[in-house]
Amino acid sequence: MSERSPPRSPCVLVLEDEVFVGLELSLILEGAGYSTLGPAPDVQAAEELLAQTTPDFAILDVNLEGVTSASVARLLEARGVPFVYMSGYTDDYMDEHLPRAPFFNKPVQPALLLKAIEAALRSRAGPGGGPGGDPEGEPGDGSGG
């Protein structure tokens, strides 16, 4: 008789410089069954975490005390890790040098964020993605079009 270990819960990197927002995101994610990496308060901390492991998904604050999360987004993109941006700014603030990804305004609606994570993980799970398989048309991407 061999014992099977329980399936690993997907890991989500949280890059957020506002402590309470980062903690709230972690609680939302953990309540939905995800494990969290972070919250990382700045780009350097996120890059240090990424040097040790690769998450299944990431939530990136756009502006971290005047520094964008572009370098972290590029690392994730190179590893094929889906991610979303979150910001108190509107999506027209997005810098043209940031890799493209869905955008959520703060405060984020947890249900929409969780839907986006689930859709991205389903899409990444296998060939052809999940049902529909179109990452551009995922519900809850928060991009507003």
For residue 93, the model assigns a pLDDT of 66
For residue 7, the model assigns a pLDDT of 66
Domains plus CATH for the chain? 11-123 (3.40.50.2300)
C-alpha to C-alpha distances, 78 to 50, 73, 120, nearest whole angstrom: 12, 9, 16
- pTM, two decimals, is 0.81
Strands, E assignment, the chain: 11-15, 35-40, 57-61, 63-64, 67-68, 83-87, 103-105
For residue 5, the model assigns a pLDDT of 55
Residue for token pair 């520094």: 67
For residue 111, the model assigns a pLDDT of 96
For residue 98, the model assigns a pLDDT of 85
For residue 142, the model assigns a pLDDT of 43
For residue 89, the model assigns a pLDDT of 76
For residue 125, the model assigns a pLDDT of 76
The ranges of the chain with pLDDT < 70 are 1-7, 91-93, 95, 126-145
